[in-house]
């Protein structure tokens, strides 16, 4: 077939889940033709699919990738060295092994857990848009992040309760090391049970699940029975992971502040009564 007299040729590419169809249409001339050819499937990367939809993917820019690397690199280095140093100091010094420091160790362990799992994996997944850490890590990484937040919230709550009971009633003994250890184990146990549905919801899937002809692996929540179930679980977790601990912490420190203010007023009144008349006049005239 002769195409020498054609004035213009336009190629349109359409991507579908089964084939790539190329339409070549001739514009101008008397003998316009339409040719359709079936080509072999082409693997599409998710970044290309995002651009094809007209979405500006800022994570593909070199500046953003460098910034991500620097920020997360600093977080990893500071988190690992800072928390590791405090952990080593507590282990070496027996005098630091108090009940309150056990809760502090909980915070250190959760920070280290995030540094070793979430901090390295998150920027890689966000920038590359592919999961290369295997099926086991696909379940463990989200679980570790959720457990770290849960344990942090309730460890801070335990510290607030310890301070509250000791300040409100000074005659009462603070938490013992054994009790603090029991509370720590209980926090981790409840945290693990609460996050079982979250663990089971994640699964490693092929990219074709989202974008046709994409062989890139993804790690995502796909095992929920429905959106309502997922939202209900998320709301329940938020309630016990953030709302309830925040309410307890706020109440404890509000009562502590009120107690301190009341004690200061009483001490000032007692001090004022102990002054002689001349001392009061001197204090006023200063």
pLDDT digits (tens, 9 = 90+) for 41-51: 444 455 555 55
What was the pLDDT predicted at 160? Answer: 92
pLDDT single digits (tens) 80-127: 999 999 888 888 887 777 888 888 889 999 999 888 888 888 888 888
What was the pLDDT predicted at 187? Answer: 94
What was the pLDDT predicted at 253? Answer: 94
What was the pLDDT predicted at 60? Answer: 74
Q: What are the residue boundaries of the structural domains of the chain, listed by start? A: 8-42, 58-274
What was the pLDDT predicted at 137? Answer: 87
| Element containing residue 205 per DSSP (H, E) | strand 202-205
Greater pLDDT, 173 or 109: 109
What was the pLDDT predicted at 80? Answer: 92
What was the pLDDT predicted at 269? Answer: 61
- Which two three-digit tokens encode residue 133? 């850490």
> What's the whole-number mean pLDDT along residues 210-219?
66
Closest by Cα among 119, 120, 130 to 205: 130
What was the pLDDT predicted at 122? Answer: 85
What was the pLDDT predicted at 172? Answer: 79
Instruction: Specify the pairing of strand 20-27 against strand 202-205.
Output: unpaired
Whether residue 153 is predicted with pLDDT greater than 90 in this model: the reply is yes
CA distance 230 to 238: 12
- Which two three-digit tokens encode residue 5? 């007299």
pLDDT single digits (tens) 232-273: 998 999 999 999 999 999 999 999 998 888 777 766 666 566
What was the pLDDT predicted at 273? Answer: 61
Q: Which homologous superfamily is 58-274 in?
A: Rhodopsin 7-helix transmembrane proteins (1.20.1070.10)
> What's the whole-number mean pLDDT along residues 212-239?
82
Sole residue written with tokens 């009483």: 266
What was the pLDDT predicted at 26? Answer: 37
As to burial, measured by CB atoms within 10 angstroms (0-12 exposed, 13-18 middle, 19+ buried), residue 220 is middle
What was the pLDDT predicted at 255? Answer: 92
What was the pLDDT predicted at 209? Answer: 55
Closest by Cα among 246, 131, 150, 137 to 192: 150
Share of the chain above pLDDT 70, in %: 69
What was the pLDDT predicted at 7? Answer: 39
- Which two three-digit tokens encode residue 224? 């929920």
What was the pLDDT predicted at 51? Answer: 56
Share of the chain above pLDDT 90, in %: 23
Beta bridge partners of residue 22, listed in sequence order = 13, 37
- The pTM assigned to this predicted structure is 0.70
């Amino acid at each position: 077939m002769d195409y020498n007299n054609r004035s213009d040729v336009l190629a349109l590419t359409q991507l579908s889940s089964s084939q790539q169809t190329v339409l070549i249409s001739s514009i101008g001339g008397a003998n316009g033709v339409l040719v359709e050819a079936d080509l072999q499937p082409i693997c599409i990367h998710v970044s290309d699919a995002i651009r094809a939809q007209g979405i500006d993917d800022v994570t593909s820019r070199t500046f953003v990738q460098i910034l991500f690397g620097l920020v997360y690199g600093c977080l990893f280095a500071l988190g690992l060295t800072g928390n590791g140093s405090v952990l080593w100091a507590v282990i070496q010094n027996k005098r630091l092994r108090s009940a309150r420091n056990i809760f502090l160790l909980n915070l250190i362990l959760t920070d280290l857990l995030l540094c070793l799992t979430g901090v390295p994996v998150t920027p890689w997944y966000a920038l590359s848009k592919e999961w290369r850490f295997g099926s086991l890590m696909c379940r463990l990484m989200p679980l570790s992040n959720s457990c770290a937040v849960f344990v942090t919230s309730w460890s801070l709550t335990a510290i607030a309760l310890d301070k509250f009971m000791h300040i409100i009633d000074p005659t009462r003994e603070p938490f013992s090391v054994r009790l603090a250890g029991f509370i720590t184990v209980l926090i981790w146990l409840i945290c693990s049970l609460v996050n079982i549905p979250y663990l089971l919801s994640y699964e490693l899937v092929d990219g074709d699940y989202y974008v046709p002809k994409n062989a890139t692996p993804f790690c995502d929540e796909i095992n929920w029975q429905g959106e309502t179930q997922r939202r209900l679980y998320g709301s329940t977790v938020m309630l016990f992971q953030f709302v309830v601990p925040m309410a307890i912490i706020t109440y404890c420190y509000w009562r502590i502040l009120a107690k301190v203010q009341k004690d200061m007023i009483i001490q000032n009144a007692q001090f004022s009564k102990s002054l002689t008349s001349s001392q009061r006049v001197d204090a006023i005239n200063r």
